[in-house]
Structure 1
Amino acid sequence: MSVALFPDMIVNGITIPSAAIAAEAQNHHAPKGKPGLAWRMAARALTVRQLLLEEAQRRGVAAVPEEVGAGRSETEDEAQIRALLETAIDVSTPPEEAVRAEWVKAPDRYRAPPLWEVSHILCACDPGENEGAIGAKARADILADAAHKGLRRFADLAASDSDCGSKANGGALGQLGPGDTVPEFEAALRLLGEGEMTPAPVRTRFGWHVVRLDACAEGQVLPFDTVRPKLAEAMEKAAWTKAARSFVDGLISAAQISGPDIRTI
């Protein structure tokens, strides 16, 4: 008798069809060439959902769906699972001494955001225009080469060739912090030391940039009293996640389950 490669799950006598698992698998990412892992992750997710609903019904948990976003409310099942977890998992706020002990382990981790002084040369192009992007990249390569070789001053190149309004200031954008620029631009900045330029132009939705980090001020280490509220919240969330995982593992251990192995995920 042949065995299905991707079988149904049977959870306490309830069948979760392979088609439902296949649909759920699209929401789970696995390494290339390992589709079985995404399948098992999906099977676990649907199994856990079934077990949580069964446990909510066993305990007589009732819940009213809440709004979770603009124009979207929980389904009845989502509301029941939320109410169950609120009932079953009780995590207290960590005591002051525990929060302080966590901070003392590495206070250097908790800093104010850095400030960067940045200059750039922009060769603008429409993100959807392939031919224009190629031309902008070629122009950016020429400008980057001239800047790296010192053929002209960076500020002069920006003033004469940049497509950004900052050209009036020699390409200077002033002080920037995390989140002030698009992600690709910020990622390039974080790789630079003071006075360094990007080795090649950087592509963003605005075009191609030659970027120079003029100065960098590392954020100051934050005092414990400033860090404490967010650190305590993070510790409480971590404790809740651990408790929730333990609760779910207990439901899985007590259940009658046949199908893909979901216990090692």
Structure 2
Amino acid sequence: MADVMEHPKVVVGGVEIPAAAIAAEVQNHPAPDAEEAWQEAARALAVRQLLLAEADRQEIVAGECTDVEGRKLVEDDARIDALLVENVMVPNATAEEARRFYENHTDRFCSETLIEAEHILFSASPEDTFNYSLAVGDARMTIRELEANPASFGELAKAKSACPSKEQGGNLGQIGKGQTVAEFEQALFGLVEGELCREPVKSPYGVHVIRAGRRAEGRQLPFEVVEQSIRNYLEEASYRKAMSQYLSILASETEIEGVNLAAAEGPLVQ
């Protein structure tokens, strides 16, 4: 509570938001540090009060409402929802707008390249210099064995690997970018189909022996496949912009102390 008292009072249109309420709201706003979390929580509650005050001014009375998951909204949330429905209107994105966005951002609409990976892990911590160097040596010997007898990969994985994939002969299945550590990914995607990486691959988890399997290159997705997701994206972006503008208007007409609503991005409505 001592930390909460150090912050200035937050007052919106003459209504003070209790410091205890802001402290309770903090848990809903993860942030790099406590001060930023407190500011985000204060902004969220200030925006909420701003909207409730406007609902009062417009004499908004809401019936029973539910959220997107079908849960009944409490009265204040229902009134805010009704206020926004009445005052923040965004037109539906057209097929022409969606196609224009698609043609201007074709690189966003590609299926990802996938590579089947075979893998043998010699587990060791990079901080344990001695054991890590032993793991590198074991990986080099295994690579030499595989160069002499490529068909032995599964057998060697079952016998030597510290990875659970050893039960499948070291097969990790299809790997896409971003699904594994950077060192492993860089090595794997630098191989052609069926190629064994000639050098041990070092990572925070240990030392890896890697062989690439079948490769499925990414392909351009047809507009028809992604049209609806583009339209949803454009409508959401338009809604957020309209919400920001609406909140800016309300904030400019209201005396606000202790919090800067200009720093808020988006509606901040839970």
Tell me, yes or no, whether TM beats 0.5: yes
Q: State the alpha-carbon separation in 2 of the partners of residues 243 and 225 from structure 1.
A: 28
Residue in 2 aligned with 1:128?
Answer: none
Which secondary structure state, in structure 2, belongs to the residue aligned with residue 81 of structure 1? helix
Instruction: Describe the superposition over 1:171-205 as per-residue Cα deviations: whole angstroms up to 9, x where unpaired.
Output: 12343558xxxx86477654442335742254xxx
Count of residue correspondences: 240
Q: State the alpha-carbon separation in 1 of the partners of residues 116 and 237 from structure 2.
A: 36
Gaps of 5+ in 2: 192-196, 265-270
> Closer, same or farther in 2 for the Cα pair 1:212/1:241, shift >3 Å?
farther
Q: Retained in 1: the 8 A contact 2:90–2:238?
A: yes
254-263 or 230-239, larger mean C-alpha shift: 254-263
Residue in 2 aligned with 1:61?
Answer: 61
Q: Retained in 2: the 8 A contact 1:201–1:211?
A: no
Q: Does 1:238 align with 2:262?
A: no
Identical pairs, percent: 35
Q: State the alpha-carbon separation in 2 of the partners of residues 209 and 80 from structure 1.
A: 58
Q: State the alpha-carbon separation in 2 of the partners of residues 213 and 88 from structure 1.
A: 58
Q: State the alpha-carbon separation in 1 of the partners of residues 244 and 160 from structure 2.
A: 57
Equivalent residue for 1:200, pick from 195, 199, 203: 203
Q: State the alpha-carbon separation in 2 of the partners of residues 233 and 209 from structure 1.
A: 44
Residue in 2 aligned with 1:212?
Answer: 210
Residue in 2 aligned with 1:146?
Answer: 138
Q: What is the Cα deviation at residue 209 of structure 1?
A: 8.5
Q: State the alpha-carbon separation in 1 of the partners of residues 61 and 94 from structure 2.
A: 31
> Closer, same or farther in 2 for the Cα pair 1:164/1:41, shift >3 Å?
closer
Letter in 2 for 1:63: G
TM-score of the two chains, using structure 2 as the length reference: 0.72
Instruction: Describe the superposition over 1:21-71 as per-residue Cα deviations: whole angstroms up to 9, x where unpaired.
Output: 222233324444xx443332221110101111222233323131426559x
Residue in 2 aligned with 1:20?
Answer: 21
Q: Retained in 2: the 8 A contact 1:115–1:175?
A: yes
Which secondary structure state, in structure 2, belongs to the residue aligned with residue 93 of structure 1? coil
Superposed, which structure 2 residues align to 1:49-198 within 5 Å? 49-59=48-58, 60-66=60-66, 69=69, 73-121=72-120, 142-143=134-135, 145-148=137-140, 150-153=143-146, 155=153, 156-162=155-161, 167=166, 170-176=169-175, 185=180, 190-192=185-187, 193-195=189-191, 198=201
> Closer, same or farther in 2 for the Cα pair 1:199/1:9, shift >3 Å?
same
> Closer, same or farther in 2 for the Cα pair 1:162/1:190, shift >3 Å?
closer
Which secondary structure state, in structure 2, belongs to the residue aligned with residue 157 of structure 1? helix
Which secondary structure state, in structure 1, belongs to the residue aligned with residue 261 of structure 2? coil
> Closer, same or farther in 2 for the Cα pair 1:55/1:7, shift >3 Å?
same
> Closer, same or farther in 2 for the Cα pair 1:56/1:214, shift >3 Å?
same
Cα RMSD over matched residues?
3.5
72-81 or 90-99, larger mean C-alpha shift: 72-81
Which secondary structure state, in structure 2, belongs to the residue aligned with residue 255 of structure 1? coil
Which secondary structure state, in structure 1, belongs to the residue aligned with residue 92 of structure 2? coil
Q: Retained in 2: the 8 A contact 1:10–1:259?
A: yes
Letter in 2 for 1:25: V
Residue in 2 aligned with 1:255?
Answer: 254
TM-score of the two chains, using structure 1 as the length reference: 0.73
Letter in 1 for 2:90: V
> Closer, same or farther in 2 for the Cα pair 1:103/1:148, shift >3 Å?
farther
Q: What is the Cα deviation at residue 140 of structure 1?
A: 8.7
Q: Retained in 2: the 8 A contact 1:189–1:213?
A: no
Gaps of 5+ in 1: 125-132, 203-207
Q: Retained in 2: the 8 A contact 1:116–1:213?
A: no
Q: State the alpha-carbon separation in 2 of the partners of residues 190 and 91 from structure 1.
A: 42
Q: Retained in 2: the 8 A contact 1:146–1:152?
A: no
> Closer, same or farther in 2 for the Cα pair 1:88/1:8, shift >3 Å?
same
Q: What is the Cα deviation at residue 104 of structure 1?
A: 1.3
Q: State the alpha-carbon separation in 2 of the partners of residues 41 and 169 from structure 1.
A: 48
Residue in 2 aligned with 1:9?
Answer: 10
